[in-house]
Amino acid sequence: MKRKSKIKMIAGFIAVPIVVLVVIGIIFINQPSFGRLPRGERLERIEQSPHYRNGEFRNLTPTELMTSDKGRFRALWDFVFADKSGLFPETPVPAVRTDLKRIPSSENCMVWFGHSSYLLQLDGKRILVDPVFHQAAPVSFVNRPFKGTDIYKPEDMPDIDYLIITHDHWDHLDYRTVTELKGRIKTVVCPLGVGEHFEYWGFDPHSLVELDWQEDALLDSAFAVHCLPARHFSGRGLTSNKTLWASFLLETPSLKVYIGGDGGYDTHFAEIGKRYPGIDLAILENGQYNDDWRYIHLMPVYLGRAAGDLKAKHLVTVHHSKYALSRHSWNEPLKNELRAAKEDSLNLIVHVIGEEVSLNGL
């Protein structure tokens, strides 16, 4: 009897912390910042999408998330405990402060905020893309920005005509940023399913333009957006691919701008280049790549090829210079873009964080 009582007591001691951890985990993933999975009429629409099969969205080409034989968790373990020399800059990253609210409405320009966040001003419209000004991960001590890069906040933004979100990963959709901007955003443009997060966060459903691949919307007279494929994945919590990821093409009276979002190389770049000739500016990801996930991020060898397939007149690269989400050195993407521009004869626009870059005359 004494032995059984002792075993029960030990089991009780073990069970209590496990239960506590489970409860903490449940509370943690049910924070508003995690958003909400699609439901109701939105889910019904998703289930009708040709890109949604067997309960999840799929890429055009079958795509493995992790291509290493180590497996997802082993690759994650290796990343966390790998040598981190060179991953972070030793000195603050160059950046400038621009008074965004004073940029004349007649100016066509781009201001990059590091990683994949940037402001476009095109033909009098202000477009904010994937803004992350607070937290690029579920917890604040992960994905901390490099020194010198964290100089813009939501209150620095002007009123926004169109907020474009390419997918719902934390480093592209920041709960605090978008909710603090909520009263100054006229329209949200996002891939199918992502609107559920915004509706959950109190955005007016009528302000949401939610698109599947190959769907278009006329945002204003002569100002159109086309939702196009990307090769990536989605998810903010324990469940992946319940929302769509996308690239977008903006057609304004004077410019065609391609917003690549995140994604690996595939045939969609050439198809977009054929379908929409005369792209003036392509904004492509360049950074946080790794051979272990080579199909879902753009590897350096494909940067020039993707821009060439699009037949873009000018190229800007993003998804670098603010966070260390892979094992390459922090400035390797900067070298990659210069090499690609030289080898592939690309008209590359290089700018620093916060710099106003004119797009007039592209």
Write the DSSP assignment of 113-172 as a string of letters: -STT-EEEEETTEEEEES--SS-SSSSTTSSPPPTTT----GGGS--EEEEE-S---TTT
Instruction: Give the sign of the dihedral formed by CA 67, CA 69, CA 72, CA 76.
Output: negative
Rounded Cα distance between 14 and 10, Å, is 6
311 contacts 273 by C-beta, under 8 angstroms: yes
The single-letter code of the amino acid at 240 is: S
**pLDDT at residue number 140:** 84
Q: Which residues pair with 316 in a beta bridge?
A: 283
Closest to 191 in 3D by CA, of 66, 53, 42: 42
Residues whose CB is less than 8 angstroms from the CB of residue 228 and which lie 6 or more positions away in sequence, other chains included: 213, 214, 246, 247, 248, 249, 268, 272
Rounded Cα distance between 332 and 67, Å, is 22
**pLDDT at residue number 23:** 46
**In 3-state terms, what secondary structure has residue 250?**
strand
CA dihedral 198, 204, 209, 212 (to 10 degrees): 50
Closest to 149 in 3D by CA, of 62, 196, 89, 205: 89
Q: What is the DSSP secondary structure assignment for residue 94, as one 8-state letter? A: P
Rounded Cα distance between 60 and 249, Å, is 18
**pLDDT at residue number 22:** 46
Work out the burial of residue 43: count CB atoms within 10 Å of its CB; fewer than 13 is exposed, 13-18 middle, 19 or more buried. Answer: middle
Give, in order, the Cα–Cα distances in Å from 316 to each of 22, 87, 165, 261, 345.
44, 22, 18, 12, 14
100-358: CATH superfamily: Ribonuclease Z/Hydroxyacylglutathione hydrolase-like (3.60.15.10)
DSSP state string for 46-91: HHT-TTEETTEE--SS---S--STT-HHHHHHHHHHS--TTTS-SS
pLDDT in tens, the chain (362 residues): 555 565 555 555 555 555 545 444 555 567 999 999 999 999 999 999 999 999 999 999 999 998 877 665 666 666 666 677 899 999 999 999 999 999 999 999 999 999 999 999 999 999 999 999 999 999 988 889 999 999 999 999 999 999 999 999 999 999 999 999 999 999 999 999 999 999 999 999 999 999 999 999 999 999 999 999 999 999 999 899 999 999 999 999 999 999 999 999 999 999 999 999 999 999 999 999 999 999 999 999 999 999 999 999 999 999 999 999 999 999 999 999 999 999 999 999 999 999 999 999 88
